[in-house]
Structure formats: structure tokens, C-alpha cells
Amino acid sequence: MITGAEAGIPEELRSRVSFMPYDFFTPQPVRGADAYLFRWIFHSRSDEYGVQILRSQIPALKEGARILINEWCLPEPGGVSRWDEGIMR
């Protein structure tokens, strides 16, 4: 999933961003980063697993660190056309 991800990072930020494979259910191996980005991770997991993923970050967090979540927000059922709702769900 990380192959080619660097292409979306502006040149001036590339030295500050790194990508690596990681098992979300184990303790975060990168300690002391300013931010941890989770993109399209939580939408396909139950709340129980989402909580487990977030808890596994705690030992690595320094004061002031951020967890950034980029995720889908589904509309209420019937809030969009049946076609669009079928694609999203």
C-alpha cells in the first residue's frame, strides 16, 4: 500500500516524511515522531479494533505528537442516491 506514496509529498517535505509497513496491532516501532498518519484504515474495522490500533500508538507518542486520521465519513442511509450509497458502503 505504500508503494508510490512518496510521489504525493511535496519536495520540500520529503526529508521529513517516511513510509514503512507496519502491523497496526503491535506497538508502534517509530518513537518520538511529530505525527502519525492513518489513511483509510479505520473504516473497515470494528470499534474494538480501532481502539486497539490507537492504543498501540500510545507508547511511541511524545508530548505534543499528533495522530492524523484521513477517513471516509458515510452519509446517513438515504442521504444520497441509492447508486452512490451502494458504491460507498
Q: What is the mean pLDDT of residues 63-78?
A: 88
What is the residue extent of each domain of the chain?
A: 25-88
pTM above 0.75, yes or no: no
Helix or strand run (H / E) with residue 68: strand 66-70
Q: How far is CA 78 from CA 43, 72, 73, 82, in A?
A: 19, 17, 14, 7
Question: Which tens digit of pLDDT belongs to each residue from 13-67?
Answer: 888 888 888 899 999 999 999 999 998 888 888 999 999 999 999 999 999 999 9
- The pLDDT score that the predictor gives to residue 39 is 85
**Alpha-helical segments (H) within the chain:** 47-55, 82-88
Task: Note the pLDDT of residue 89.
Answer: 66
Within 13 Å of residue 50, how many CA atoms lie on the same side as its CB? 13
Annotated catalytic residues are 43
Q: How many CA atoms lie within 13 A of 79 on its CB side?
A: 7
